Amino acid sequence: MTKKSKLDRREFLAAAGAGMAALQITMPSGAFAQSFPGRPITVVVMYGAGGGTDTIMRKLAEEMAKAQGWTINVINKPGAVGGVATQFVGAARSDGYTVLGGANYNRFVRVLGHADFVPWEDWVPMKAGNALASWSVRKDSPFQNFDDIIKASMANPGSVSICNYPATPT
């Protein structure tokens, strides 16, 4: 068995976390706070500006910056189901200054070939919240639960349509 020549991201994060914990115990809090961050942190949002993910990431960054006295910049790198931002952050140094901001942890980037590494093996996801996917129908719809939709779709293929936006009233 050969020994790896460099740490992978998971090993780096584990070692960095242990080192930071040790520093917090042994150093006065003022000295630790001055050492990191030494420059602005960048949060790279994997979707376009103005959407739900962007709005939440910007608010989280704003509140963290205010609470810690840090400078946190938020940029958007949409495209390829989050692959553009994932590749960008994956190519950055593993030093805590470039962070991926996304919706639920996205495995599509690797499965669809949009990342040349395996994010779910190389990174540690941290969730600040979660939003469950949901469907909505009008109260007078013949569909009152998800099972109704499945049955109708199977009985008459192509007869059920969905959209991401509310229909404009006519």
pLDDT value of position 38: 92
Each of the 170 residues of the chain gets a pLDDT tens digit; together they read 444 445 555 555 555 555 555 444 444 445 444 588 999 999 999 999 998 889 989 999 999 999 999 999 999 999 888 889 988 998 999 898 999 998 766 667 776 777 777 777 777 777 776 666 677 888 898 889 889 988 998 999 888 887 655 555 54
* Amino acid identity for residue 124 in this structure: V
- This prediction has a pTM of 0.58
Contacts of 151 by beta carbon, 8 Å cutoff, 6+ apart = none
Cα dihedral: 9, 14, 17, 20 (round 10): -90
User: In 40-97, which ranges are E strands?
Assistant: 41-45, 72-76
Count Cα atoms within 13 angstroms, Cβ side, for 93: 4
pLDDT value of position 32: 45
pLDDT value of position 137: 83
Cα dihedral: 114, 117, 120, 125 (round 10): -90
